[in-house]
Structure 1
């Protein structure tokens, strides 16, 4: 039973999820869940009953901690009517970017999204969080590691001065 199958998320925690589907995989089947706003999560089927089944996630503690934060935010965001927690709206990106790390290493990456304050990139390379870099004329630092790449927060623009004080 390979391939993609639609399912409905009934319940989720940092350790696993309960789902409903017309086609239920056998026990111990490895699955990859793509959950909107939470991303890609791997696990194994641990329990089945009718059209419902439970998945135990196979994720390191760091990913479980991030998942717990994301679940908490999503629950409270909807319940309390909050807006997204971004400081600037993001727009879908397109094309490729040339990213230069502080040590001179150049990364070619797909642009996932961009805003005035940052951008997200898809690539195999994962620089360290906090590592300084340049994207075109913009300088910044790595803010987060994503499943498929990393996100950058840009440095604030420097105020340009003119006249004798600038010398």
Structure 2
């Protein structure tokens, strides 16, 4: 997280300048990409739940909502799924999705910043890094790829492609 914090902190306050629906669109784009980049998730129940949550998010986005509106049964299953989310990165993805729904006034810039951090952590956890440090993250190509993707998404959402 050292590298991500260093590279993404300058965008923290600017995320609030993205319109509400745009923040959800950005969060979904990054979460979709992150899940794809993570590779296969072996626990079928976890993968299916993540897919279901993302489908709900895209449905909410199409409806013009500024957050994910999880049906009660999905929220009820969250704890159960999180308990079996033992593969690296899966718990972080669950947290990112929950953050997108636990936003009474819509997804704020601050919550979006947390979602982006969870997505970076999800991939970081799947990389073969023995000791986390700025140097180790700098040496890992995937870490740079994640940050470059997220920066590009943020800049595009801010109107600066």
Please give the TM-score of this superposition, normalised by the length of structure 1.
0.26
Structure number with the bigger relative contact order (C-alpha 8 A, sep ≥ 6) is: 2
Higher strand share: 1
Higher helix share: 2
Q: Which has the larger radius of gyration?
A: 1
